[in-house]
Amino acid sequence: MLPREASVSVSVTDNGIGMSPEAIDKAFEPYFTTRDTEGGAGLGLAIVYGFVRQSGGDVRIASQPGKGTVVELSFPA
């Protein structure tokens, strides 16, 4: 049997506008969006969070304004 810590991770990286620390803190909250004018619903990352946690995994954001964003999903193997 595999060790309990074995995990599979998937990360998505972009070179977009990045996120402030405040936006990172709130990003998984349902309906939090900074994209009202573009029609953002604020549900994308909330849904990702729910799916990952229900699967026993975790999701983390690393981002800096102007430098892009990495979202890493990790799941038990």
Ligand X SMILES: Nc1ncnc2c1ncn2[C@@H]1O[C@H](COP(=O)(O)OP(=O)(O)O)[C@@H](O)[C@H]1O
Applying CB under 6 A, which of residues 8, 9, 16, 60 lies at the interface with ligand X?
16
Applying CB under 6 A, which of residues 9, 11, 14, 25 lies at the interface with ligand X?
14
Residues 48 to 67 in contact with ligand X, rule: CB under 6 A? none
- The strands making up 68-76's β-sheet, listed across from edge to edge, are 7-14, 68-76, 58-64
We find the least distance from the C-beta atom of residue 61 to ligand X, in angstroms, to be 8
Please tell me whether residue 32 binds ligand X under the rule CB under 6 A. yes
CB atoms within 10 A of CB 1: 4
How many angstroms separate the Cα of 54 from the Cα of each of 47, 59, 71, 74? 11, 12, 17, 12
We find the least distance from the C-beta atom of residue 57 to Mg ion, in angstroms, to be 19
